[in-house]
Amino acid sequence: MAGLEGTGQPRGAGRPTAARWSPAVEDERALKALELFGNPTEHEVPLPSRPESAATARRLAQVVALRQWNLGPKVTEDAVLLVSELVGNAVRHTGARVFGLRMRRRPGWIRIEVRDPSRGLPCLMPVQETDISGRGLFLVDKLSDRWGVDLLPRGKTTWFEMRVGDR
């Protein structure tokens, strides 16, 4: 069952496509976000729990994926979209004042984590074509290779992992 402590969700190779955000390799706002908030590959970056923080988190994910990790546009697009979904859930559903963003890479994989102080577990719900909200975890489930939730003494970390080619 999705969302159990320490449990991931394996995914097959066939993935649906979603509306894509197109990353610009030279995004000055992304570099500015890295300068202002810090590098999520070096430490957890705290962000205020406000809707506009989703844009900051997307920019941080973009600059790390493109410039530091040298990932291709498709993987970057998917990662940025999924970061936005996890951040949106943290902002809308946890009541937190701050959440944390962390990005990790190991050979063949990337892992992106959003930590918040709520111990409420996210729930993967069935999605209909006419739904105008509630698609966040559906997208995470379909576009990532694995995802899950780790319960912490104070809060939780919701994460996803994606396979990547090492260059």
Tokens 């729990």, located at residue: 49
Q: Please count the other Cβ atoms lying within 10 Å of the Cβ belonging to residue 91.
A: 22
Strand order in the sheet with 98-106: 45-48, 98-106, 109-116, 155-163, 146-152
DSSP 5: B
The pTM of this model reads 0.80
Q: Digits of tens for pLDDT over the chain (167 positions)?
A: 344 444 444 444 444 444 444 444 447 888 888 889 999 999 999 999 999 999 999 999 999 999 999 999 999 999 999 999 999 999 988 888 999 999 999 999 999 999 999 999 887 877 767 766 667 788 899 999 999 999 999 999 999 999 998 75
Tokens 């449990």, located at residue: 7
**How far is the C-alpha of 116 from the C-alpha of 93, rounded, in Å?**
10
